[in-house]
Amino acid sequence: MNLISCPECENKILERMGTICPKCGYTVGYFNETKKRPKYAKFFALSVFLPFTSFLIIIFSSINEIAFTFAVIYFLYIAYKSCPYLYKELFVTKFEKMFFWGVWILVNSLLITMIYNIINKVQVV
């Protein structure tokens, strides 16, 4: 286990999340690391908000072939940038890792299905 200096009293404590300093009571939290917080926020935005914008852009651009092509390229770019593999160092627990992979697979498979249906103009009777 790696030891870090407690930011409050400089006592050596474990860097593991949830560790409490016996000297001053400081608790090691999830976002104590200043570098991790902005990267996690970026990943969260890419995972939640941008697939929704991809959905809207694909729907509205399905009228024009050129706009639809650009919308599909945008979707592919966002799908790549939001891939949990690129942010694997952010995940603390296996549940968190599996959750974000599950969400990513579900959202992108639904968007791919929508693109496929628009391309083939499948109509449900």
Beta-carbon contacts of residue 31 (< 8 Å; ≥ 6 apart):
37, 40
**In 3D, which of 106, 121, 2, 124 has the Cα closest to residue 55?**
106
Residue 43, number of CB atoms within 10 A of its CB: 19
- Contact in structure between 58 and 115 (CB atoms under 8 Å): yes
14 contacts 26 by C-beta, under 8 angstroms: no
pLDDT values of the chain reduced to their tens digit, one per residue, 125 residues: 677 788 788 888 877 766 778 888 777 765 555 566 667 777 777 777 888 888 888 888 888 888 888 999 999 998 898 888 988 887 777 888 898 899 899 999 999 999 998 888 745 44
d(CA 22, CA 27): 10
Residue with tokens 């949830």: 18
Write down the pLDDT at residue 125. 42
Q: Domain boundaries in the chain?
A: 1-32, 33-120
How many CB atoms neighbour CB 95 within 10 A? 9
